[in-house]
Amino acid sequence: MAVNGSNVDFIQWEPTSGGSVHGTATVKSVSGTVPRERLSTKTHRFTGTIHGRSVTLTFSGSRADAKIHGTLKAGALTFQVPQAKGAIQPGTLAQSDTSNYNAAVAELNRRIQHANSFAERAQGQARKRQRHVSPEMSARIDLATLHQDASLASSNFGSALSSFASDIQRAGSDLATEKLAAAGSNRYCSATDTVAGKSQAVHGDYKSVKGDVKALTADLGTVRRDIATLSGDMRTLSDKRRPAPSGAPAAIATARANIGSTITRANGYIDQMNVDYAQAYSFAYGKAKGSCSGHGPGRQASPIPHVR
């Protein structure tokens, strides 16, 4: 499985005979534009062969069959994918299962729904501004928008933190399995391969947390913009010696407090993910020694930065 921004790619296959396989590649992606984004699905059937680490898959299409070549290494499948203009683009899918795939699709769908909701509110605010131009009315509209977005964001913050917690729990489980595998027999580098595969699973969890960070950052940005807009309205009213809408200072203070507490919890999850990933990589890298040095985990990713 690969999770890349607005796409979730999932390949499943079953062996037939003599190294042959058949299966499907499913691509879940975002289509359309806000506030009418939606989740699209494309499924492609293929046949193929696996010889050692070499993988060849042939996809049946409406015009011509497309053949791609790849390599199985350390629980990851790396493909060289031909592009429309002739270039070759590498792509990597980590070993996964249907539960992780379903979780990734659910998270992508959640992000679509949130983006649509925020876009609808922004459009409604713009329409109201066209009808009402007085500073008092603008401030009341912006206060209502902050209440709406902060309420939605509070739900989103909770969902995002739940997603962080789920990803961290899964990473801990994958790391524990990796540690157990490291103690197993290493004949023909089998333990090294298993450890590297589990390291790739933790790397998949790491990428899921990066997706959580991206979704949370977007939600935080929306509420921060609402706060800035309402604060500007209040300064304008103050300059004109007119009162701010009732409840505006309290709404701003509450929204800022929620942002602060959410960031603190999210950064705690990020720190844990960075520790788990570093340990998983260290185990896999340390196991790939001597005759098993070609079975390592590849290049180590940089730590996930804190949410600001």
> Terminal CA-to-CA distance of the chain, rounded, Å?
29
Q: What is the pLDDT of residue 276?
A: 95
Query: Do 157 and 219 contact (CB within 8 A), yes or no?
Result: yes
Indicate whether 145 pLDDT > 90.
Answer: no
- Has this prediction a pTM greater than 0.75? no
Give 49-66 pLDDT, tens digit per residue: 998 889 999 987 655 568
Indicate whether 225 pLDDT > 70.
Answer: yes
Cα–Cα distance, 118 to 124 (Å, whole number): 10
Of the listed ranges 34-43, 87-96, 137-146, the one predicted with least confidence:
87-96
The amino acid occupying position 122 is: A
Highest mean pLDDT among 60-69, 127-136, 215-224, 234-243: 234-243
- What tokens were used for 273? 């993910």
Indicate whether 100 pLDDT > 80.
Answer: no
Cα–Cα distance, 287 to 191 (Å, whole number): 8
Instruction: Work out whether the CA dihedral 112, 118, 123, 124 comes out positive or negative.
Output: positive
Cα–Cα distance, 135 to 232 (Å, whole number): 10
Q: What number of other Cβ atoms are within 10 A of residue 259's Cβ? A: 19
Greater pLDDT, 278 or 152: 278
Return the C-alpha torsion angle 54, 59, 65, 66, nearest 10: -60
Mean pLDDT of 255-270: 94
Q: Omega of the bond prior to 35 within 30 degrees of 0, cis?
A: yes
Cα–Cα distance, 184 to 195 (Å, whole number): 10
Mean pLDDT of 73-79: 78
Give 234-251 pLDDT, tens digit per residue: 999 999 999 999 999 999
Give 37-48 pLDDT, tens digit per residue: 888 998 888 999
Percent above pLDDT 70 for the chain = 91
Render 114-135 in DSSP notation, one character per residue: HHHHHHHHHHHHHHHHHH--SH
Q: What is the pLDDT of residue 239?
A: 93
The candidate with the shortest Cα–Cα distance to 216, out of 176, 293, 165, 158, is 158
The amino acid occupying position 8 is: V
Q: C-alpha 253: how far from its chain's center? A: 30
Q: What is the pLDDT of residue 129?
A: 61
Of the listed ranges 21-30, 56-65, 140-149, the one predicted with least confidence:
56-65
Number of H helices, E strands in the chain: 4, 8
Cα–Cα distance, 11 to 126 (Å, whole number): 43
Is 31 in a helix, a strand, or coil?
strand
Indicate whether 94 pLDDT > 90.
Answer: no
| HSE value, Cβ hemisphere, 13 Å, CA-based, for 3 | 24
